[in-house]
Amino acid sequence: MPTLFLASASPRRRELLMQIGVPFSVLSVSIDETPVPAEPPDVYVQRLAREKALAGLALLDDASACVLGADTTVVLDQQILGKPADKTDALKTLLALSGREHEVMTAVALASPAGCVVRLVTSKVRFRTIRPEEAEAYWASGEPQDKAGSYAIQGWGAVFVSALEGSYSGVVGLPLCETAQLLGTHGIEYWTKSCA
């Protein structure tokens, strides 16, 4: 069976892979995540996932290796909402999402010596109205500080989510259905070890 490497520092992606029993090792990669001018969000997120996977593969000298890369972005009115620069940025983002529907795009890329395949999963998330004092309190919790869109659906930010259409795990950071299918095409099995 091919050896799987995860090119991500995200603890959430590690937890999701462990959830479905996929054995893997973690690789540390660094790429420039700056959007190209006029780059559409779907193109941007797929490019980053591909670049992460290929950067990881370039670190290895193993013909049986496969490297999984992923990237998630929050999109409102076709604008990419990345990780907040500071409190002001986070509060502005949360209040922009308040009472509205936005998209969460997660791209997954699997690179091997045979090439690189990318899948894109888009989910729709609707927020209830967020009061300014709630946004302040949420920022003070520390949770939004390193999250795309300034929230975590798997954490305290879940209280803002009134509806979800699509992949919950995709919003967290790794769409498990599509990831398992992608791994299967390369002979990488899931449910192979217990994470209990």
71 flagged as catalytic: yes
Name residue 128's amino acid.
R
| Locus of tokens 């670049």 | 51
Angle between helices 87-97 and 132-140 (to 10 degrees): 130
Report the DSSP beta bridge partners of residue 110: 68, 117
What span, in angstroms and rounded, lies between the C-alpha atoms of 17 and 12?
Answer: 9
188 alpha carbon, distance to own chain's centre: 20
63 alpha carbon, distance to own chain's centre: 27
| Locus of tokens 């069976």 | 1
Catalytic residue among 42, 61, 62, 71: 71
DSSP code of residue 35: P
Which residues 6+ apart lie within 8 Å of 25 measured at CB? 3, 4, 5, 6
As annotated, the active-site residues are 71
